[in-house]
Chains A and B, each alone.
Chain A
Amino acid sequence: MPVTLVDDPRPWRLLLIIPLAVSFVLFAFPQAYFIAASFHENLGYGRIGEEWTLANYVRVFTDPLYVGSLLRTIGLSALSASICLAIGFPVSYVIARMTSRRKATLVGLLVAAMFITPVVKDVGLIILLSQNGVVNQALSVFSKPLGWLGSEAGVVVGLVHFTLPLIVLLLGTVISTVPLSLEEAAHAHGASRARVFYGVIIPIVKPGMIAATLMVFNLAMGAFTTPALLGGGRVLTFPILIQRSVILDVDYPFAASLSTILLVSVFCLNVLAGYLMSRQGRFRRMASPAPAAVSTFVKKAA
């Protein structure tokens, strides 16, 4: 019975043993040890106390430096994510409705912009936003040079630049779940543009839109390089404080508690985003016979 032999899934399952073991050793064990460490006292020189304590968490939530930083990080990330959604949605819409070969070029540029290391992009942004940079020269008609670098405004520009390619790509797959014929039908029956947008497009893309925004928010929350370079050490976001508590203070249990807070919040939001994206996937199956590759992307994105 050669056909059943091919279909037999059991031998394939054996292949999972090695990668699962590796992932388990690299993921589950270190994470567990790490989260446990956040509940112990720091004895200096990298040594960790025996007794369980909540002191690290109490310190995070009572010290204005850390509370302020957490709120600032959430605020900056939320602002960046909203700007990304506002800019990204129209861009994704135009790209999703393109049929020419230019579409592939634009998607390629987006992927390149997403995967080129933030360090290099930040070098460019620093040059552009510097005191005598191109941006300030262009704005000189309206105002005196603005101090972008080392300010929250600069960090937001950097975060938007960092996360925009991702949200445009995510929204692109979400928007392509709305069949063009549906929009045309609504137009044909006399709906205005605004009505089509709020009555047809938004209800369909809502879960995917929220999910994409959450993912971008999370990316901004965890971003280290961009706030560190564009903030010039003056805008202290949570990831920067984590790095400082390891490198400067050598306080691992405290760094662990900061990281655990960041990890838990980002992780919960990601699970929510994944759930919303899978609901968007249901719309896709109902809506259109999409090419396999694109629907895979939606699944991967979730």
Chain B
Amino acid sequence: MLTADALRRRLGYAFVLCVFVFLVAPLIVVSASSFDSGAYFAARFPPHELGLKWYREIPPKYWHALGVSFTAASVASVISAALGVLAALGIVRGKLPGVEWLRSFFRMPLQIPLVVTGVVFLQFYYSLQALMGVRLAATLPGLIVAYVFVGMPYVVGTVGAMLERLNPRLDEAAAILGCSRWRTFWSVTFPIIRPSIIAGMLYAFVVAFGDVPLSIFLSSSSYTTLPVEIFNTLQFDFNPSVLAISTLIAAMSVVSLWVIQRLVGLDMIPR
């Protein structure tokens, strides 16, 4: 006989379990049906004939798009990391008056719907082209610049949080022992904040890598990112190989997030 408390607790756990099933079900369905070699025009879940057919038949345009996405997202995440670390150091260590405003300013890109950011950047690029002849719309650098804009807040967030937790006595100790400021930074501060830099960089990467609403405005037929390619496939012509490539992207995101968890834990999500 269960006590009322134990029963209530079990009901609570059962509810949580149901919600998590709802959350992960689409991913399980996508990955499971990507291994169904028998399906032709529609995805089947549960899969009937297991096989890697659709992985072998991923069309070249997806691989090309994967290359574009991967290049743009990784270059952008490195640039975001460099800028974000500088910003976080300035915010936390600079102790400027009104620093909350500065924080909000750097967090601003997260407050703007990505569709709006996409339209804004498209128009910005067109006006740059008209004024200075620089062509950024529908080019790889154009994508990278936009991804830096949305990626930077994540680095500022993770690195800033780590810097605030860091004990200032460590720096003082190094200084007392005769370290120069430069040396103190590289041999005391930097090793401590390094995991948070990588974590912020991975967040920036994951967000850029999976983005549709921003990239849909900034890509062209020769520079399409993978999520946009999948989006178009789903709207116009379904093919089971889309499941295979989707499974690959999901796996990549899960690995990145697992690395973040190992590095800094997942409780510092900048949002």
Do the beta carbons of B231 and A225 come within 8 Å of each other?
yes
CA–CA, A270 and B157, complex, Å = 17
Q: Give 4 closest A-B pairs by Cβ, nearest first.
A: A124-B26, A222-B113, A117-B210, A16-B90
New A-B contacts (13) at CB < 8 Å, excluding given A15-B94, A115-B206, A256-B123? A30-B120, A113-B24, A120-B210, A120-B250, A121-B27, A165-B23, A222-B116, A229-B235, A263-B113, A270-B111, A292-B164, A293-B161, A300-B270
**Chain B positions within 8 Å of A16 at CB level:** 86-87, 90-91, 94, 96, 102
A171 at interface, CB cutoff 8 A: no
SS of A interface (majority) = helix
B148-182 near A? 1/0 per residue, CB < 8 Å: 11001000010001001100100110111010010
A162–B122 CA distance with the chains assembled, in angstroms: 26
Please report the C-alpha to C-alpha distance between residue A294 and residue B108 in the assembled complex, in whole angstroms. 22
How many chain A residues sit at the interface, stated as a range, is: 35 or more
Asked whether, in the complex, the Cβ of A95 is within 8 Å of the Cβ of B267, the reply is: no
Question: Contact between A229 and B114 (Cβ–Cβ < 8 Å)?
Answer: no
Q: Is the beta-carbon distance between B15 and A94 smaller than 8 angstroms?
A: yes
Contact A117 B23 (CB under 8 A): no
Is residue B13 within 8 Å, beta carbon to beta carbon, of the partner chain? yes
In chain A, positions 250-296 with a C-beta closer than 8 Å to chain B are: 252, 255-256, 259, 262-263, 266-267, 270, 274, 292-294, 296
**Contact partner of A222 among B29, B93, B115, B145, CB < 8 A?**
B115
Given the contacts A16-B86, A130-B42, A161-B26, A296 and B164 also touching, CB distance less than 8 Å: yes
Which of chain B's residues has its CB closest to A165's CB? B23
Number of residue pairs A-B, CB distance < 8 angstroms: 292
Of residues 111 through 134 on chain A, the ones whose CB sits less than 8 Å from some CB of chain B are 111-128, 130, 133-134
Q: Using an 8 Å CB-CB cutoff, how does the interface string of A166-188 with B read, 1 for contact, 0 for none? A: 10111000000000000000000
Is A296 within 8 A of B123, CB to CB?
no
Contact B268 A11 (CB under 8 A): no
Q: A9-B93, A117-B253, A246-B122 are contacts. A87–B19 as well, Cβ < 8 Å? A: yes
B234 and A123 form a contact (CB under 8 A): yes
B78 located at the interface, meaning its Cβ lies under 8 Å from any Cβ of chain A in the complex: no
Determine the distance from Cα of A93 to Cα of B12 in the docked complex, in whole angstroms.
9
Question: Which residues in window 128-161 of B have CB below 8 A to A?
Answer: 145, 148-149, 152, 157, 161
Tell me if A5 is interfacial: C-beta within 8 Å of chain B: yes
